[in-house]
Amino acid sequence: MIIKTLAVGPIMANCHILGCEKTKEAAVIDPGDDADRILHTLAELNLTVKLILNTHGHFDHVGGNRRLIEVTEAPLMIHEFDAPMLESLSQSASAWGMRAENSPAPDQFLEDSDNVTFGHLSLAVIHTPGHTRGGVSFHTDGAVFVGDTLFAGSIGRTDFPGGDYDTLITSIQKKLFPLGDEVVVYTGHGPETSIGHEKRSNPFARIQ
């Protein structure tokens, strides 16, 4: 599997490009901004976008949806609980002194235990609420893409609307940690980490 991560936009949110080496079909997870840069990277990798996936609905993770959809015509998927956020990205961004385009409506809602496929690859959808009500993670062999649920040495904020600390910790400990210590965690901001490392050392979510 091809994995390319780009830190996009003023908040440096991670956009993850996943590609099938055999078919060159790709999924883009969280195109938060800099859509033309994402498209240029896809062209460099000779990948064709088949899916646009949002881990959650905050503007720094979905602000590039519209441009990417216009160019690729790929379907957009997000959890139903976070879909209403897509209609007010401009307003949300302006509250932080930034800009974002409202997103088109999703083509499909993601649900826990769904599988989304592109090329010869499949991603299992895990509903991981806490940062937002509709936050999801995407798991495949040896890797999980968690949005703002879990970071290297930290966790997602829970003081935004729809956030809840206890729910977030439950998502991490009950849904992400059982995936296996060797699984690489691709986060929504900052460096990647591993399930095992966060179990042992994350001061917020580690298992004693």
Per-residue pLDDT tens for 120-164?
999 999 999 999 999 999 999 999 999 999 999 999 999 998 999
Residue bearing tokens 């990277």: 41
Summarize the confidence of residues 91-98 as an average pLDDT.
89
What pLDDT does residue 184 have?
Answer: 98
Over residues 67-93, the mean pLDDT reads 95
Q: What is the pLDDT of residue 66?
A: 96
Model confidence at 103, in pLDDT bands (50, 70, 90)? Answer: very high
| pLDDT for 121 | 97
pLDDT at 99: 87
What average pLDDT does the segment 6-18 reach?
Answer: 97
Contact (CB, 8 A) for 54 and 65: yes
Domains detected in the chain: 2-201 (3.60.15.10)
The Cα–Cα gap between 192 and 144 comes to 10
Q: What is the pLDDT of residue 208?
A: 59
